[in-house]
Structure 1
Amino acid sequence: MKLLGTIAAMAALCIATVSVPASAQTKTIYIGMNGGPMEKAYTSQVLPDFEKQTGAKVVVVPGTSSDVLAKLIANRDKPQIHVAFLDDGVMARAVSLGICQKLDDSPVLKELYPFARMKDDVGAGVQLGMTGIAYNKKLFAEKSWAPPASWMDFADPKYKGKVVFQSASSSTFGLHGFLAINRLLGGNEQNVEPGFGKWASTVGPNVVEYIPNSAKISEMVQTGEAGLFPLTPTAVADLQDKGIPVAWANPKEGAVLLLVDLCVVTNNPDPQLAQKLAQYLLSAPAQEKAAEAGKQIPTNKLAKMPAAMQQSLGNVDSMTRTATMLDWSAINAHRAQWDARWNREIEK
């Protein structure tokens, strides 16, 4: 009996010894992305499937695109983030700094809209956005105004004191709106003189407030201060979910294409697992879950959106054909000067 007891104890010890390395081998992979609705959508619905498939644990490092890029730059010799989500303008900077490595060749890349594949596949669009015109439905109904239809509606005198514009020096939406109006005034990304020179006689007089980001918009809509402002369909849907009376309009000149891109970080601790995560996030099943959970517009052509989302947006293919694609190389080359000029001349 004593011998049997000894054997049993040794067996239990062996089992315990074997089980420790198994649990210790669980891999953790880190992904940098925007916090808030995006983080909630991915952590609740999208990432759990990848964790089941691979046995890895995916941890979100939340922050704005600029925050994530700053972390990547600070730790570029020994990065802690494996995969990064960045707005397309910020992604262009990351690529120029060598922060992103080429995506592995995969069938999923051929499923993406052509514009979602970055040059040399150093990254790819994981979420599609289009900055257009958002407006206060309650206010427009009270005033019997038709929905806005052009970027130049921001300069219509009837909206005096009802235009809210995000700062072009700190907000992608504000920059998009400014550049769209600059184009209609005769400029482009290499020439912003028309936008700056004519702002005071066009849009400027209508602006009730310049805001650093979109966080204040819900409050300003409810108080009736905000009538129209640049925004994406996804951001509008988030406001609608909170009961804010807003709607989105696609300008007749076309919305400004906005991509949230992903890239696998150069020299990350587990490049093989990072590539697997990137391929999964670009797949139709993952993007369908992101659409259901967070109204993220897919970049994978095979992904289906929920019926209500499809009805609200209309034909995404036709919208992308008319959307304006910006020259981020030209923008980033002059962004610092534009930011200083915006703060000095527009928000003076």
Structure 2
Amino acid sequence: MTRLLHSLCAGLALALASAAGHAETKTLYVGMNGGNFERTYTQGVFPDFEKANGVKIVVVPGTSSEILAKAIAAKDKPQMHVMFLDDGVMIRAAGMGLCEKLKPTPALADLEPVARLKDDMAAGVDLGMTGIAYNKKLFDEKGWAAPTSWLDLADPKFKDKVVFQSAAVSTFGLHAFLMFNRIKGGDENNVEPGFKAFPDTIGKNVLEYIPNSAKISEMAQTGEAAIFPLTPTAVATLKEKGIPVEYAQPKEGSVVLMVAECVIANNSEPDLAQKLAAYLLSPEAQAKALASGNIAPSNTKTKATTEAGEQKLSAIHNYMKTAVTLDWDVINAKRAEWNSRWNRMIER
């Protein structure tokens, strides 16, 4: 009986020790886009932080709109600790009080100025831009020159060959529409020129309005899609899969499109969440993201680890010279009205 009691006590002690060990491993939940972004960070960036800090990072995948909706629903008791959102959506989130100010760090100080959002409530981790992508195989077959302008989307030779992401739900589509609007004489405060001209120009060429860019891979391979709004990062990812697409920087400028991070206000692990956010802005983490998934660094001190990475870095910095920033305060205030109008007039 004594031996049995000792055995039971020893077993209980081991179980308690094991439970205590598991209790020490904290979990951080990070909301971000799935696909390439999730793979890049879970495989190439998060592991070193997890190991160094004894923490497990779990990705909550979704589009920016979906992640924002989750954050709003759980505002009083956040289920996530850090979230990644497209810059325009992030500005909205910060304005709703969903983010807490990032703590000053050397990494934050070394960011491209455009990557530090208002009052450092969020910061860009992926510096990009929306421009024009095209199906090089199809262009070569037709003898078409590479596009140079947003107005090329309205060229009659591309009738039923333009694939356009819905401006009501896609940042890419919204960017393209607003640049077209600017070319037609409007700005974010006046979208009348764009809405008036779009149906009889670009609209006449659109084969399909898609909710996001997922279908572009398939449509480029089948030859259905000739030209469409997209980012250099997305183009690079498609090219790595053997899909014959190229990026073209419009002469009017591309549109700055960052993926930004913020630490969610009132989360259960504020110090650890801030530590993760700072790490993700560091040159070390961003070099890993560039190498693992073509994520373009926002930290000016990031060094590429390969020649291909250096070329990507050089191209991004070159595109940034003519990239345009939009007034997201105006956009966010008008977005619901625009969405309704877009659905009624453009995608009807």
Q: After TM superposition, give the deviation of residue 11 of structure 1 in Å.
A: 7.6
Counterpart of 1:225 in structure 2: which amino acid? E
> Separation in 2 of the partners of 1:229 and 1:336?
24
Counterpart of 1:202 in structure 2: which amino acid? T
How many percent of aligned residue pairs carry the same amino acid? 60
> Separation in 2 of the partners of 1:17 and 1:223?
59
- Which residue number corresponds to residue 337 of structure 2? 337
Q: After TM superposition, give the deviation of residue 202 of structure 1 in Å.
A: 2.1
Counterpart of 1:320 in structure 2: which amino acid? M
Q: After TM superposition, give the deviation of residue 321 of structure 1 in Å.
A: 2.5
Are the aligned partners of 1:28 and 1:56 in contact in 2 as well (CA < 8 Å)? yes
- Which residue number corresponds to residue 113 of structure 1? 112
- Which residue number corresponds to residue 311 of structure 1? 311
What is the SS of the residue equivalent to 1:140?
helix
1:184/1:310 CA distance change after superposition, 3 Å: farther
User: Are residues 1:142 and 2:141 paired?
Assistant: yes
1:15/1:160 CA distance change after superposition, 3 Å: closer
Q: Which shows bigger deviation, 325-334 or 195-204?
A: 195-204
- Which residue number corresponds to residue 325 of structure 1? 325
**What whole-Å deviation, never above 9, does each CA across 1:204-227 have from its counterpart, x for those lacking one?**
222222222212112221222111
Are the aligned partners of 1:84 and 1:265 in contact in 2 as well (CA < 8 Å)? yes
Q: After TM superposition, give the deviation of residue 124 of structure 1 in Å.
A: 0.4
User: Are residues 1:129 and 2:122 paired?
Assistant: no
Are the aligned partners of 1:100 and 1:122 in contact in 2 as well (CA < 8 Å)? yes
1:16/1:249 CA distance change after superposition, 3 Å: same
**What whole-Å deviation, never above 9, does each CA across 1:103-159 have from its counterpart, x for those lacking one?**
111111111101100111111001111100000001100111111011111112222
Are the aligned partners of 2:91 and 2:117 in contact in 1 as well (CA < 8 Å)? no
1:309/1:249 CA distance change after superposition, 3 Å: farther
Q: Which shows bigger deviation, 243-252 or 17-26?
A: 17-26
1:201/1:26 CA distance change after superposition, 3 Å: same
Are the aligned partners of 1:159 and 1:227 in contact in 2 as well (CA < 8 Å)? yes
Counterpart of 2:55 in structure 1: which amino acid? A
Counterpart of 1:52 in structure 2: which amino acid? K
> Separation in 1 of the partners of 2:277 and 2:104?
11
Counterpart of 1:337 in structure 2: which amino acid? E
- Which residue number corresponds to residue 223 of structure 1? 222
TM-score normalised per structure 1: 0.94
**What whole-Å deviation, never above 9, does each CA across 1:227-269 have from its counterpart, x for those lacking one?**
1000001111221122211111111111110010100000000
Q: Where does 1:62-73 land on structure 2 (aligned, <5 Å)?
A: 62-73=61-72
Q: After TM superposition, give the deviation of residue 27 of structure 1 in Å.
A: 0.7
**What whole-Å deviation, never above 9, does each CA across 1:28-54 have from its counterpart, x for those lacking one?**
111100111110111011000000110
**What whole-Å deviation, never above 9, does each CA across 1:54-95 have from its counterpart, x for those lacking one?**
001111111111111111111100001000001111111111
1:82/1:158 CA distance change after superposition, 3 Å: same
Q: After TM superposition, give the deviation of residue 17 of structure 1 in Å.
A: 4.6
User: Are residues 1:79 and 2:69 paired?
Assistant: no
1:13/1:74 CA distance change after superposition, 3 Å: closer
1:201/1:273 CA distance change after superposition, 3 Å: same
User: Are residues 1:30 and 2:29 paired?
Assistant: yes
Q: After TM superposition, give the deviation of residue 23 of structure 1 in Å.
A: 3.0
Q: After TM superposition, give the deviation of residue 7 of structure 1 in Å.
A: 8.9
> Separation in 2 of the partners of 1:319 and 1:174?
19
Q: Which shows bigger deviation, 94-103 or 18-27?
A: 18-27
- Which residue number corresponds to residue 151 of structure 2? 152
- Which residue number corresponds to residue 287 of structure 1? 286
Are the aligned partners of 2:175 and 2:255 in contact in 1 as well (CA < 8 Å)? yes
1:168/1:14 CA distance change after superposition, 3 Å: closer
> Separation in 1 of the partners of 2:244 and 2:103?
44
- Which residue number corresponds to residue 161 of structure 2? 162
Q: After TM superposition, give the deviation of residue 347 of structure 1 in Å.
A: 1.3
Structure 2, unaligned runs of 5 or more: none
What is the SS of the residue equivalent to 1:247?
strand
TM-score normalised per structure 2: 0.94
Are the aligned partners of 2:166 and 2:173 in contact in 1 as well (CA < 8 Å)? yes
Are the aligned partners of 2:296 and 2:313 in contact in 1 as well (CA < 8 Å)? no
1:313/1:269 CA distance change after superposition, 3 Å: closer
What is the SS of the residue equivalent to 1:322?
coil
Q: After TM superposition, give the deviation of residue 4 of structure 1 in Å.
A: 11
Are the aligned partners of 1:233 and 1:313 in contact in 2 as well (CA < 8 Å)? no
> Separation in 2 of the partners of 1:298 and 1:179?
25
Q: After TM superposition, give the deviation of residue 290 of structure 1 in Å.
A: 0.7
